[in-house]
Amino acid sequence: MAATPRFRKNAVDGTAPEAPVPGARAHEGGGAVGGPDRKHPVDEKLPPLRMFTSGLQHVAAMYAGVVAPPMIVGPAVGLSAKETAFLMGASLFTAGIATLLQTLGFWRIGARLPFVNGVSFAGVTPMIAIGKDRGHDGIAVIFGAIIVAGLLGFVLAPYFCKLVRFFPPVVTGTVITLIGVSLLPVAFNWSQGGNATADDYGSTTNITMAAVTLVIVLALRKLLRGFLQQIAILLGLVVGTLIAVPAGITDFGALGDADVVGFPTPFHFGAPQFEIAAILSMCIVMLVCMTESTADMLALGKIVGRPADERTIEGGLRADTLGSAVSPLFNGFMCSAFAQNIGLVAMTRVRSRFVVAAGGVILVLLGLVPVAASVIALVPLPVLGGAGIVLFGSVAASGIQTLATAALEKGENALIVAAAVGVGLIPIAAPGFYHAFPEDLLVVLDSGISTGCVVAIVLNLAFNHWGRTPDVPSDPETEAADGAQPKDPMALPVAH
């Protein structure tokens, strides 16, 4: 007699995954995985050319986000232009290492999802406060604090990952939506030129260029088929950059000044220094990054059809924190998930983690070959902003799709979403809202993703768990939506 197949319950909402359809074929763009020999799309390896171009697309989507923090922190602590450029190359190199840890992994390190890691923007303000006008000493103190924070996070990962039980669809949908909405102002800033102090910031030329790129990307997605449709973002960036050349917004200066080869010499700015105040500040940033990475992994798991369970999140957090602890060795900053690449996965439906691993290899090479990195930097920010509107909007759309399964008509779920989204939008709609609060708290309060996530978790517990009457008949759909397991009507009561 054949054994009845057993299915592991979804770690996010407690529901059992659907059984694969016999004979169904898997493909890069999604679909069911059928047959015992078929790999999940996350584990599929694409042909080399497709692997490279799809990986390059991920690099193009994240490049500006990786180099922006060192561009800001370097001058603030008193580094020269050449030293700041060195920091940028080191950040690309360490982002590549962290991405490889995350996608390929070893032992129990790495989520093994198409998950991109890069320099966290959450640490920019605290790092400036730590190292302002201190030159090399300031950078050394920053690096020392990041090393300690990374090691602490690595130790906490097995415990922190247990928060996954508090992320049912009503919470994950809210957080994913906030991730997308929180990223849109970044795209709008890029569309205006990226530098608010520049004379042409918000000019009609910049905004028109962003609009043209947006239309090109949408047209390519509509008209192309197959693989070309999947790299429509990359093609849109190329076409947009070519159009931007006669418009006069493409800067070729970096290409001429870049070195052909350059290795990020370990501890280039001196041995790390350890100061208690700096360490405490960066440990808070690490906890914020771990919260956001947990939400990002849950979002990505939903999108690729491989829900992130506790072990996946533990491995992902270990990769984040280990990458952060190692980065200062090569003059890099704290690493965390890049949510914009989740939008790229959602839009292209290319779910292979090896594609993102290829992007990680490209990042490492860009860090070793500055002249190649400067070629990627030729893409004007308005062009990147036009494509970013689609990318980040796709993340928000994925969140809304998840909320559609959260039974908002049941109980107080709609109220949970309303309050969490409202609080999460405060840093976006009113950036100075928390100006009177202590600076250390601003690390958390100025992150709409973190505050919205905390509010959603607490309200879900308050309305759907704490104080619930056990003997009141419950609706299985509601319980699935709020993360509780549907009760078996034939089960005997459990004595306490």
User: Closest by alpha carbon to 408, among 177, 209, 235, 222?
Assistant: 177
pLDDT of 426 = 92
Element (H, E) at 118: strand 117-119
Task: Considering only residues 85 and 323, tell me which one the structure prediction assigns the higher pLDDT.
Answer: 323
Structure token pair of residue 74? 């370097």
User: Closest by alpha carbon to 169, among 345, 349, 302?
Assistant: 302
Average pLDDT estimate for 406-432: 88
Average pLDDT estimate for 36-40: 69
User: What does the alpha-carbon distance between residue 101 and residue 318 come to, in Å, rounded to a whole number?
Assistant: 9
User: What does the alpha-carbon distance between residue 390 and residue 376 come to, in Å, rounded to a whole number?
Assistant: 20
User: Closest by alpha carbon to 376, among 256, 257, 254?
Assistant: 254
Q: How far is CA 403 from the centre of its chain?
A: 20
On the CB side of 18, CA atoms within 13 Å amount to 8
Q: pLDDT tens for residues 213-261?
A: 999 989 988 888 766 776 787 788 889 989 988 888 877 765 666 666 7
- Mean pLDDT lowest among 38-42, 64-68, 84-88, 388-392: 64-68
Structure token pair of residue 227? 């693989």
Three-class SS state of 337: strand
Question: Which segment, 181-195, 371-385, 458-472, is predicted with the most confidence on average?
Answer: 181-195
Q: pLDDT tens for residues 143-154?
A: 999 999 999 999
Q: Is 75 exposed, middle or buried (0-12, 13-18, 19+ CB in 10 A)?
A: middle
Q: pTM value?
A: 0.65
CA torsion through residues 399, 404, 406, 412, sign: positive
Structure token pair of residue 342? 């989740």
Task: Considering only residues 468 and 157, tell me which one the structure prediction assigns the higher pLDDT.
Answer: 157
pLDDT tier for residue 489 given thresholds of 50, 70 and 90: very low
User: What does the alpha-carbon distance between residue 294 and residue 211 come to, in Å, rounded to a whole number?
Assistant: 33
- The region, left, alpha or beta by phi > 0 then psi within -120 to 50, assigned to residue 345 is alpha
Contact 376, 325 (CB under 8 A): no
CA torsion through residues 70, 76, 80, 81, sign: positive
Contact 371, 90 (CB under 8 A): no
DSSP label at 119?
A: E
Query: Tokens 């991730």 map to which residue?
Result: 179
For residue 159, pLDDT over 70 is answered with yes
User: Closest by alpha carbon to 440, among 119, 125, 73?
Assistant: 125
pLDDT of 181 = 85
Q: Based on DSSP, count helices (H) and strands (E) in the chain, helices before strands.
A: 20, 2
pLDDT above 90 as % of the chain: 20
Average pLDDT estimate for 361-372: 83
Q: pLDDT tens for residues 310-337?
A: 888 999 999 999 999 999 999 889 888 8
Structure token pair of residue 211? 């609009």
| Amino acid, single-letter form, for residue 33 | V
pLDDT tier for residue 99 given thresholds of 50, 70 and 90: very high
Average pLDDT estimate for 384-412: 82
| Amino acid, single-letter form, for residue 201 | Y
Structure token pair of residue 334? 């704290």
- Mean pLDDT lowest among 93-97, 159-163, 191-195, 454-458: 159-163
The radius of gyration of the chain from alpha carbons, rounded to an integer in Å, stands at 23
Q: pLDDT tens for residues 255-285?
A: 666 666 777 788 888 889 998 878 887 887 7
| Amino acid, single-letter form, for residue 279 | I
User: What does the alpha-carbon distance between residue 189 and residue 468 come to, in Å, rounded to a whole number?
Assistant: 45
pLDDT above 70 as % of the chain: 81
- Measured in degrees and rounded to the nearest 5, phi and psi for residue 117 equal -110, 145
Task: Considering only residues 64 and 144, tell me which one the structure prediction assigns the higher pLDDT.
Answer: 144
Cβ-based neighbour number of residue 159 at 10 Å:
10
Average pLDDT taken over every residue of the chain: 78
DSSP label at 336?
A: E
For residue 430, pLDDT over 80 is answered with yes
Quote the longest CA-to-CA distance of the chain.
77
On the CB side of 211, CA atoms within 13 Å amount to 7
pLDDT of 3 = 43
